[in-house]
Chain A
Amino acid sequence: DAGVIQSPRHEVTEMGQEVTLRCKPISGHNSLFWYRQTMMRGLELLIYFNNNVPIDDSGMPEDRFSAKMPNASFSTLKIQPSEPRDSAVYFCASSLSQGATYGYTFGSGTRLTVV
């Protein structure tokens, strides 16, 4: 299996622009997580999907952030408009049966820089 695939690997954008991050989970996994990693706050959960349905979005910082999972093999995280404080590494992770038995597999992340 190719693992969890995220794109792009790096994104540099200007403040105010829309940014879309993409994630393809491992085939057969039914839970998907979006995390953000910064030096100040470490890894923070943004949103969690189970069977394509958002279950917990309490970590989404504000209305500028939105996430979708239109099918079992694709998810997006969108920031509109982007701000410099959104600069971070964004990780997507997937798991089978909520990760209780087999744990969680992470993608390589998208490094976002907003200038």
Chain B
Amino acid sequence: KQEVTQIPAALSVPEGENLVLNCSFTDSAIYNLQWFRQDPGKGLTSLLLIQSSQREQTSGRLNASLDKSSGRSTLYIAASQPGDSATYLCAAASGGSYIPTFGRGTSLIVHP
């Protein structure tokens, strides 16, 4: 059974810092890994999707990498802004039905 762990659980940084969020998974036979953002009381917004054959994906200030052999993915946020404050979740899709398994998320606060 796939298990996904996200470290740290919470992070508070000053505006402008570059930061890295970590996601690890136990079953390396994944089809894709997706990063989401969740604002308080809201739904999940997709940020980046990395296919199993890819090593990284970039969107604006966000860069996500995937290392299947080590069971790890990282989300890099450059020049963080207060508007980046949210919970970031990763989900690894594996198994015959491609069902995504979620980590518990990293709660990020970027203070001015």
Contact = CB atoms under 8 A, between A and B. Distances in A.
Interface stretch (B66-74, B77-85, B97-105): B97-105
A93 B44 CA distance: 9
A66 interface: no
Contacts of A43: 89, 102
Contacts of B99: 33, 45, 48, 56
The 9 closest A-B pairs by CB, nearest first: A103-B49, A98-B98, A108-B43, A106-B44, A43-B102, A42-B104, A103-B34, A100-B31, A106-B43
Interface of B: 31-32, 34, 36, 41-46, 49, 51, 89, 91, 93, 97-105
Nearest to B45: A106
A99 B43 CA distance: 18
Interface of A: 31, 33, 35, 42-43, 45, 48, 50, 55-56, 91, 93, 95, 98-109, 111
A100 B98 contact: yes
Contacts of A55: 97
A44 to B, nearest CB: 8
Contacts of B43: 91, 106-109
24 contacts: A31-B98, A33-B100, A35-B102, A42-B103, A42-B105, A45-B100, A48-B97, A98-B98, A99-B31, A99-B98, A100-B31, A101-B32, A101-B51, A103-B32, A104-B46, A104-B91, A106-B36, A106-B45, A106-B46, A108-B42, A108-B43, A109-B42, A109-B43, A111-B41
Contact of A98 (B36, B45, B97, B105): B97
Nearest to B103: A42
Contacts of B42: 108-109
B32 A99 contact: yes
Which one of B43, B45, B97, B105 has the greatest number of beta carbons of chain A within 10 Å?
A: B43
Contacts of A48: 97, 99
Contacts of B32: 99-101, 103
